[in-house]
């Protein structure tokens, strides 16, 4: 992820910055205390609490490094860059699944921010890729793990917040 540009909405950026702050300020202190307590138990060669605390510390430091690298390469998706005539990363869209006759609202986001259960689909996903660049009223067919699905773009909303 070192040189790859990461596309985030303002909301996604805030979420990752909050996580990074939490790890740096709260989690680092908590793990430091755990290590101190484990050290007080004596013999490190058979001290499972110490080993566990050091492993947790390594995971926290790795996550901090990942977040710092990602945040150095962020491109914020702004409303000004999004036109309402075509689907872009950052667009919120209402689509109709033509097979099941169901309407769904999706927000197209960068892969770091994707959460399909919350209606945020990645621009790298098959559905996200197929919808990018589509105009309102256009129908696309998408090969999904469950088979071919047809979506019709019913509405493109310019805002990046649902």
CATH code for the domain in which residue 67 is found = 1.10.287.180
Q: What is the mean pLDDT of residues 106-125?
A: 92
Is residue 1 in a domain?
no
Residues spanned by the domain of 28 = 6-76
The closest alpha carbon to 110, from 11, 23, 2, 17, belongs to: 11
Residue pair 67/19 in contact by the 8 Å Cβ criterion: yes
> Quick one: 126 and 99 in the same domain?
yes
Q: What is the number of alpha carbons within 13 Å of residue 28 lying toward its C-beta? A: 11
For the chain, how many structural domains are there in total?
Answer: 2
Asked if 85 and 147 sit in the same domain, the reply is: yes
Within this chain, do residues 97 and 148 fall inside the same structural domain, yes or no? yes
Angstrom distance (rounded) from CA 43 to CA 36: 13
Q: What are phi and psi of 111, to 5 degrees?
A: -60, -30
Task: Indicate the average pLDDT of the chain.
Answer: 88
pLDDT of residue 78: 73
Between 41 and 148, residue with greater pLDDT = 148
Across the range 143-152, mean pLDDT stands at 89
Tell me: the pLDDT tens digits for 73-91? 998 887 666 667 889 888 9
Q: Is the pLDDT of residue 156 over 80?
A: yes
Give CA separation, 116 vs 43, 64, 95, 105, in Å.
48, 25, 14, 11
Q: Rounded mean pLDDT of 97-126?
A: 92
């Amino acid at each position: 992820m070192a040189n790859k540009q990461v596309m985030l909405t303002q909301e996604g950026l805030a979420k990752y910055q909050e996580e990074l702050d939490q790890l740096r300020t709260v989690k680092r202190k908590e793990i430091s205390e755990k290590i101190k307590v484990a050290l007080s138990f004596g013999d490190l060669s058979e001290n499972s609490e110490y080993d566990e605390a050091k492993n947790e510390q390594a995971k926290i430091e790795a996550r901090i490094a990942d977040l710092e690298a990602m945040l150095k390469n962020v491109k914020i998706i702004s409303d000004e860059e999004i036109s309402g005539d075509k689907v872009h990363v950052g667009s919120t869209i209402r689509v109709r699944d033509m097979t099941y006759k169901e309407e769904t609202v999706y927000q197209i986001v960068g892969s770091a921010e994707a959460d399909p259960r919350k209606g945020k689909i990645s621009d790298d996903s098959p559905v996200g890729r197929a919808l990018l660049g589509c105009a309102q009223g256009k129908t696309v067919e998408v090969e999904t793990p469950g088979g071919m699905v047809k979506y019709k773009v019913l509405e493109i909303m310019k805002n990046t917040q649902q």
